Amino acid sequence: MQKQVTIIGSGIVGAVTAYYLSADPDLNVTIYDEGIGQATKNSAGIISPWLSKRRNQRWYQLAKAGAALYPEIVADTQMGYSVYQQAGTIVTREDPADLEALYQLALQRRADAPQMGTIEKLTAAEVADRIPLLTRAQPGVFVSGGARVDGDKFAHNLLKYAEKRNLVRHKGKVTLNEHGQLMTPHGQQNYDTLILAVGAWLKPLLLPMRMVAKVRPQKGQLIEFQLPETWADDVPVLMPEGERDFIPFTRSKLVVGATHENDQGYDLQVSPLVEEDLFASGQKLDANLTMDQISQVKVGTRAYTPDFSPFFGPIPDNPHILVASGLGSSGLTTGPMIGKLLADYVQTGHHDWNQYQLPVETYLEEAD
């Protein structure tokens, strides 16, 4: 008999999990999504974890593995360069000593991350040459394996791919009762395995089960420009020192962002002051940008844990309910690996995730 796997949330985690599970003909997979505030849809799209200063080794292993999965998934599903492209990333540093330290870190990290590709130390003029939009540049380190992804299109394509196999999609909000029964817009639904890939909304969803997820929401905004000029498809992403990230997408779309607003809860309003601040940051790099070229302001909600680490897996004492949350500001990078590991667990019933995370219990506690 086929098993019923139900996924809640169709962001990067839900979509990648559905993609991997779609290869299994013994499963019926259903996904529900309420369709609000999704971080994946509103993200900047930088995939380049290797030069991060974070000391968290578990996070790094997860992010490195996630970044390495993209080319495989993209090739398998035949997504084009408007969805994902390894155009390279440049991280800048003004101080020559800092630049050299960053370059050495890159060389060291590449020893066990061959997907980083070519590493080059660039002068300010060389950086400006690689990113013709810049009117002001700093020296930087170029990593050819760095990529940009359109999170919205990536997740959408995976869901479409899985729908051709064993996935059924529904729109709508679900809730759980105290026994973990699933209430959907179509009434109560049974499941063999339930996967809660709900990002920043895990806490309210689990509360009726008297379980508190240690996750808080963080608001993130970014601006998108539609520019009159076009540029080559392989212009790298810029992660400048002290300014917002600068992400030229294919041809004439430029993204500048993002903010990290910790005091706004689940608010999804665009704030004009923040828009101006993001614009000013973009203009410091490209003095020709104008406000009327802003085509969109995007707002999303990230999920954070107290130690900034993602967590995933079965909840204590219930192997049938899995959770994944806390992906923070690098969830497009870690998300594919988390989705793959969850799918593996559904199929095998086993896991050995110590290299990637602390036990899930660390992030879940009983309600008073």
Ligand X SMILES: Cc1cc2nc3c(=O)[nH]c(=O)nc-3n(C[C@H](O)[C@H](O)[C@H](O)COP(=O)(O)OP(=O)(O)OC[C@H]3O[C@@H](n4cnc5c(N)ncnc54)[C@H](O)[C@@H]3O)c2cc1C
> Of 44, 83, 113, 364, which one interacts with ligand X (CB under 6 A)?
44
Residue 151 Cβ vs ligand X, minimum distance, rounded to whole Å: 6
Between residues 121 and 328, which has the closer beta carbon with respect to ligand X?
A: 328
> Of 145, 146, 257, 314, which one interacts with ligand X (CB under 6 A)?
257
Residue 47 Cβ vs ligand X, minimum distance, rounded to whole Å: 6
Considering only 22-30, 85-93, 207-215, 329-337, which stretch makes contact with ligand X by CB under 6 A? 329-337
**Is 65 a binder of ligand X (CB under 6 A)?**
no
What does the block give as tokens for 272?
Answer: 């004009």
Distance between CA atoms of 281 and 150, rounded to whole angstroms?
A: 22
The residue count for binding ligand X (CB under 6 A) is 42
**Is 45 a binder of ligand X (CB under 6 A)?**
yes
> Of 34, 152, 192, 277, which one interacts with ligand X (CB under 6 A)?
34
> Of 65, 222, 278, 322, which one interacts with ligand X (CB under 6 A)?
222
Considering only 18-26, 74-82, 194-202, 347-355, which stretch makes contact with ligand X by CB under 6 A? 194-202
> Of 5, 6, 7, 9, which one interacts with ligand X (CB under 6 A)?
9
Between residues 28 and 42, which has the closer beta carbon with respect to ligand X?
A: 42
Positive or negative torsion for Cα 202, 205, 209, 212: positive
Ranked by CB distance to ligand X, the top (closest) residue is: 331
**Is 198 a binder of ligand X (CB under 6 A)?**
yes
Between residues 79 and 121, which has the closer beta carbon with respect to ligand X?
A: 79
Between residues 201 and 356, which has the closer beta carbon with respect to ligand X?
A: 201
> Of 93, 130, 302, 340, which one interacts with ligand X (CB under 6 A)?
302
Distance between CA atoms of 329 and 232, rounded to whole angstroms?
A: 28
Cis ω before 113 (30° cut-off from 0): no
> Of 158, 239, 258, 297, which one interacts with ligand X (CB under 6 A)?
258
**Is 253 a binder of ligand X (CB under 6 A)?**
no
Residue 95 Cβ vs ligand X, minimum distance, rounded to whole Å: 25
**Is 329 a binder of ligand X (CB under 6 A)?**
yes
SS (H, E, C) the chain: CCEEEEEECCCHHHHHHHHHHCCCCCEEEEEEECCCCCCHHHCCCEECCCCCCCCCHHHHHHHHHHHHHHHHHHHHHCCCCCCEECCCEEEECCCHHHHHHHHHHHHHHHCCCHHHCCEEEECHHHHHHHCCCCCCCCCEEEECCCEEECHHHHHHHHHHHHHCCCEEEEECCCEECCCCCEEECCEEECCCEEEECCHHHHHHHHHHHCEEECCEEEEEEEEEEECCCCCCCCCCEEECCCCCEEEECCCCEEEEECCCECCCCCCCCCCHHHHHHHHHHHHHHCCCCCHHHEEEEEEEEEEECCCCCCEEEEECCEEEEEEEECCHHHHHHHHHHHHHHHHHHHHHCCCCCCCCCCCHHHHEEECC
Site for ligand X in 75-134 (CB under 6 A): none
Considering only 27-35, 52-60, 134-142, 225-233, which stretch makes contact with ligand X by CB under 6 A? 27-35
What separation, in Å, do the N-terminal and C-terminal C-alpha atoms of the chain show?
A: 40
Considering only 160-168, 197-205, 281-289, 357-365, which stretch makes contact with ligand X by CB under 6 A? 197-205
Residue 220 Cβ vs ligand X, minimum distance, rounded to whole Å: 3
State the residues that interact with ligand X by CB under 6 A: 8-14, 32-36, 38-40, 42-46, 151, 173-174, 197-199, 201, 205, 220, 222, 257-258, 300, 302, 327-333, 335
